[in-house]
Structure 1
């Protein structure tokens, strides 16, 4: 009796290896970019691609690979993806120029897209009991959240001792452990009789997401232009085509009928908006701490640890919390917690605010931790076991899109407020505020303008979370039976 139980939890630990790496690599370059810039001398556009191409690839391919794993084998896809991730990490570490680094980062993102949905699906097979599965998904969500939160800190520590390529080589020991233990502890799982993967749907979802996100990011970096608008519109058109095509397929990549359920819809939006708030607040606060308050990059990263710890702990304890207070109260409460935490950033200023920043990450971290855990659990529990990979892909895609849109939309909003305030300067997407060779009075004005942009962005995000919390309070049923995960059949 205990041996299968022990094997399942050991299997979970093995699954967490690639999950942690995929999320950590989404943020580990935040502190490494200055060193990479010195070593490889990328152009401004290349630097943007080095930062963003990984997230583009992960976000645009998650849906496709969630379904590929369902049909052709989740463990097989995990093994292939982990091997490619390790090889691409090695290539990135020793890339002699920015072009090859961009290519290897894109390959890492492609491999990461194979890992996340398949890992979540294999996890659901390890824990058929709904209560155990909810606990395991909470740990899964905690590992994913912790990886993204700890990424900049790991990067800062490595960069103090080694060259910039070390932020990629750190992946290799973890990948090696996974490749050795996964075949021993994990079983192959695939859905049967589901037909062939619709290749056109794969292309439409991948290219549509890529173009839409890139168009928004390009507008955030360089302002509105014909190119940025046309790229985003082209992506949107492809995504509409993709959505319409799914309705006529016997085996669609996304079961859009799931969104008719208000509980599922609230859960997926809860996956998107908190990630948008988290990424935007982390990005803008990082600039504030470093460029406005003048803190060293590693010290700025360490200040995020209390919030990261709270977030991680909440991911783990959320299943038990949900049993005590109910999923409805947890979903509603997480949004008001995030709204309150974001509002605390309104107390930051040009000459101070470190304490308010730490308090903000801790208070909002409670809501982030709950949301990450509840979203994943709801997505997987809402579908039959054979569609677990696709459902997991929807949940993870909402996270990745939220992460991308948070920086793109809120970053551009902050930049707009910054420009309207007067100085002919703008925050850049590599996490710095450019203040070279200007008079002290102008620098002070620039810092004041940036703080105004930060306050505007977090105020908008806080209001959005209050609105979503109110909507959840109205829409979600009081009966826990309507919200509780059902056993897979």
Structure 2
């Protein structure tokens, strides 16, 4: 069927609305990674301790990830456009506060507020797009562009940060948010319509508090142990966080309108896809942060050169995200997921030969090969999550996918980054908790500087080896748990089908269904 004969073909206003929405989406994802190359400058200007430095990096991701599903429900109930406008305003103000923060504590607070605002933007933006594009084929294209913009933001964040840092101070990486949010506030009321669902459940405050507090408690305990060693209070905080998360899981199973619908995870494809949203982002964020420090502080490269070295990987990631739906249509989800996990593992392991005197070539090869897998992960997760549920639950499923991305981004810094910090503390000269702090010490001798750099490289190698082996394990799990026929169908049957039944997929019926969905 041609586009002209489709009852709900989108007009120019819909595509302009998509363009307006992509601005905040790009910024929300960029701000999860834009500080990676800026951290050495932040460290010199604000002098954060090791614990504060990690919180500056990952408080944003935890705030976004822990509140995405809650704000999805709030948008359903009170209006998604209204929530988008409020979130864009707060995001802009918090960005200005971050840019001019005079100390580490205020920067952490402003980054947390940016994360809260970012959590209002992503699920509501996706829901608004679903309203703009009623035709299934065009809606699929719009969601694909949405996912590509989200992926591109993660990829180009360090590059944009490096280019700005070449000319301006570190706060400039936040000021670029202001004009984009201003344009959104001007054009969004004109191009976007208010969207509410008629059957939204009430918001459960206990679930919101338990999930966010529990996650932050667990990560705080792990980070403190890595940076300072095991002590009683952080261990108790981590234990309390674990208990809260367990209570959160139990509570969701008894609520009529849970924040996190665990019945979706009965489907193997959905489960593997969500794990694919979490683990690759954890590996990517940790590798990007550690590599940024490696290029600047170990190899002494200028920040702009370090940023430009990331461009090949960013280009591969973004292009892969765009073409992945075509690849899935041709070979199925199972082979695509296998390519995803094994290419990430191979890319990460290519960092192992890096030394204190050279490793630029290994870094470029690593980001390019791993970028193939990262791009697949973004696209497959978004498509699988939205396709697994009925239309009225697409926002919730999309929020789960975005939550896995954001939590993975933060966990990469908190856990894998903390592993590298622990090894630096154990193997280094024990003069300061981080490499940059050590290199800035007055009177540091050349042998001590070399020892600090060597310890950092050891931590980098162990961190990427662990992340690479985890992806090998996830690839083997995909090979074992996803049957070939079902994985080619991806999510067969009507939306929400896999959460309720186990009817064997029928290739012929599935092919007809895909043809109808894509306007064939």
Structure 2 length as normaliser, TM-score? 0.86
Q: How does 1:236-251 map to 2 (within 5 A)?
A: 236-251=242-257
State the Cα distance separating 1:43 from its structure 2 match. Answer: 5.8
Hey, what does 1:404 align to over in structure 2? 410
2:362 maps to 1:356: yes
Whether the 8 Å CA contact 2:163–2:304 is kept in 1: the answer is yes
Whether the 8 Å CA contact 2:64–2:406 is kept in 1: the answer is yes
Hey, what does 1:303 align to over in structure 2? 309
Q: 1:292 aligns with which of 285, 291, 298?
A: 298
Whether the 8 Å CA contact 1:337–1:367 is kept in 2: the answer is yes
State the Cα distance separating 1:274 from its structure 2 match. Answer: 0.3
Q: How does 1:42-441 map to 2 (within 5 A)?
A: 46-421=52-427, 423-424=429-430, 428=434, 432=436, 434-435=438-439, 436=441, 437-441=443-447
CA distance in 2, matches of 1:10, 1:170: 21
Hey, what does 1:473 align to over in structure 2? 479
2:36 maps to 1:27: no
Q: 2:18 aligns with which of 12, 24, 35?
A: 12
CA distance in 1, matches of 2:268, 2:160: 39
CA distance in 1, matches of 2:306, 2:490: 39
Structure 1 length as normaliser, TM-score? 0.92
User: Cα–Cα, structure 1 residues 419 and 43, in superposed 2: closer, same or farther, change >3 Å?
Assistant: closer
State the Cα distance separating 1:129 from its structure 2 match. Answer: 4.5
CA distance in 1, matches of 2:431, 2:44: 22
User: Cα–Cα, structure 1 residues 426 and 37, in superposed 2: closer, same or farther, change >3 Å?
Assistant: closer
SS for the counterpart of 1:454 is helix
Deviation string, structure 1 residues 259-284 (Cα, Å, up to 9, x no partner): 11111110010001100110111122
Whether the 8 Å CA contact 1:49–1:102 is kept in 2: the answer is yes
User: Cα–Cα, structure 1 residues 331 and 136, in superposed 2: closer, same or farther, change >3 Å?
Assistant: farther
State the Cα distance separating 1:432 from its structure 2 match. Answer: 3.3
User: Cα–Cα, structure 1 residues 9 and 323, in superposed 2: closer, same or farther, change >3 Å?
Assistant: farther
Deviation string, structure 1 residues 320-359 (Cα, Å, up to 9, x no partner): 2212222221112110111111111112122211001100
Unaligned runs of 5+ in 2: 497-520
State the Cα distance separating 1:245 from its structure 2 match. Answer: 0.8
CA distance in 2, matches of 1:450, 1:398: 29
Deviation string, structure 1 residues 239-263 (Cα, Å, up to 9, x no partner): 1111111111111111111111111
Deviation string, structure 1 residues 68-120 (Cα, Å, up to 9, x no partner): 12222222211211111112223333445544433332221110111112222
Deviation string, structure 1 residues 107-146 (Cα, Å, up to 9, x no partner): 2111011111222222333344554444333322222222
Whether the 8 Å CA contact 1:377–1:485 is kept in 2: the answer is no
User: Cα–Cα, structure 1 residues 300 and 160, in superposed 2: closer, same or farther, change >3 Å?
Assistant: closer
CA distance in 2, matches of 1:164, 1:448: 27
2:487 maps to 1:483: no
Deviation string, structure 1 residues 12-56 (Cα, Å, up to 9, x no partner): 221111111111122223344454456556566555444333223
CA distance in 1, matches of 2:390, 2:319: 29
State the Cα distance separating 1:314 from its structure 2 match. Answer: 0.8
User: Cα–Cα, structure 1 residues 403 and 356, in superposed 2: closer, same or farther, change >3 Å?
Assistant: same
Whether the 8 Å CA contact 2:217–2:238 is kept in 1: the answer is yes
User: Cα–Cα, structure 1 residues 234 and 382, in superposed 2: closer, same or farther, change >3 Å?
Assistant: same
Whether the 8 Å CA contact 1:276–1:402 is kept in 2: the answer is yes
Whether the 8 Å CA contact 1:336–1:469 is kept in 2: the answer is yes
Whether the 8 Å CA contact 1:275–1:402 is kept in 2: the answer is yes
Q: Is the deviation greater in 132-141 or in 399-408?
A: 132-141
Q: Count residues in correspondence.
A: 487
State the Cα distance separating 1:225 from its structure 2 match. Answer: 2.4
Unaligned runs of 5+ in 1: none
User: Cα–Cα, structure 1 residues 427 and 134, in superposed 2: closer, same or farther, change >3 Å?
Assistant: farther
SS for the counterpart of 2:195 is coil
Whether the 8 Å CA contact 1:64–1:206 is kept in 2: the answer is no
Hey, what does 2:461 align to over in structure 1? 455
Q: Is the deviation greater in 327-336 or in 410-419?
A: 410-419
SS for the counterpart of 2:470 is helix
Aligned CA-pair RMSD: 2.5
User: Cα–Cα, structure 1 residues 289 and 231, in superposed 2: closer, same or farther, change >3 Å?
Assistant: same
State the Cα distance separating 1:427 from its structure 2 match. Answer: 6.1
